[in-house]
Structure 1
Amino acid sequence: MMLFVLILGYFAVGEALVCTPQLCEMVKNTPLQCKGSIVKGGGFCGCTDSCAKQEGEECDLPSGIHLFGIPPSGPCDDGMECTSPITENHSTPRLGRGVCTRSRQLRKTRSQDYTPCQQMYAQRSISMVIWQGWFLPKCDVEGNFESEQCDNTGHCFCVTPHEGNLIESTKVLGSADCSAHTHSRRDLTQCQQMYQLRMISFVIYKGMWTPKCDSIGNFEPVQCDNTDHCFCVTELTGTVVRASKIAHSKPDCSMYDLTEAAPTIMIPS
């Protein structure tokens, strides 16, 4: 009975709240210190602006149902979406409320920055599907597969470092001898080494670029940095041709000799 009375009182207070211009005159407008975007008119009764919700903060679901009188949480910032806890965390949703998470498209793009071993580890860590012979990969500090992996049947085996392909002849019950299949950074080209170091580094600076390597591991002639400047590099060492660096466009690298460590300009005849 007491619960019923409380619910009726809750609705009564909600019904009594009416947003009017006079109400806005009583609302104090304080300066905002937002971590992201500002939502115009997103505050109480639309009287003030508000901060867009950031990752992990509570938000309003697009199809959410709110009881009268409950102030809205607000929308998520650009690049994020409001997701229901019942689908993301298997917990009970709260009256049309959700949590801001990175959009699925951004999460997909971000996952492409990980190595195959790191992607497999992330997928299998959250998967509910387990089969005979299943294994959770062990990745080294550079993100490659460790040479020895072991499955849930007690068998261990050797794998290729980049793709994680099973070397069938090495599979044994217990520890496997993978000394003949151990690879080091010395087996990688300079482009591949640079790429792997960039992937595990937490340091980001203006002008930083993550190299694109061709099918045999050499630097592709055109590279671009995080300021949207593109330039030409040598194929073996990745030495930047400073004169080729331009913004918002890709240079024509055919006018440079990119086969040497110190490139020279080819003067057209």
Structure 2
Amino acid sequence: MLLLFVAACGFLAAEAIVCTPDMCKGSCPDLSGCKGTVKANGGFCGCCDTCVNLLGENEKCSFSFLLGVPSSSECGPGLHCSLKTVTCVKAVKRQVALGPCALKLKQLQTGTPMLGVQTPTCNQDGSYKSVQCMGSVCYCVDSAGIEIAGYRTSIGATDFSTKNCQCARDKEQFSKTGMLGQTFTCENNGNYQQYKCEGSVCFCTDDNGKMVGTAKVNIGLLSTLKC
């Protein structure tokens, strides 16, 4: 069967129409009675316009292998010819998965507006930003957008511009694991302090709680750590 198919394709290619310079010298047909759609330059070798019949859903369609041979029919708007069924089927739109924050935002935008309902702030990937604000108050939230207690600040507070809530988020997430042995030293705005302790060892950290430098001290000598 494969050899037969290859042979057929070779025959069709050999029989393909060759467009010569004088091919378009003849007159074009009258398409005033076209019941389908007129396709510009859709005739042989693009010489004339042609009438194309628009097929409906589940109607049989075809694929032309002959070069230069125009198709007399095609699937209508919103449809395409399926290679599997050789019929016109609806084009399936791929659903893009939304993050929890983007999904919540979409629900609020498409639903009935309600006074007092907070509009969430999302990251580009659709997740919740760690800092959410309502009115003049901003606070830390976890990955599900739920407020983490104890980290509210005013928009006018001097530390608001650097508020990232990373320490509050990491502490909240670690507490849900039920594990012990890691200490989180968060500032009142939810950011990491300049140091972090794991067990009995403390060291300097950046805004994301990552170790800075190589200096480490016992927790009892924390006051001697210079960050």
TM-score (norm 2): 0.33
Higher Rg of the two aligned structures: 2
TM-score (norm 1): 0.29
Higher share in strand:
2
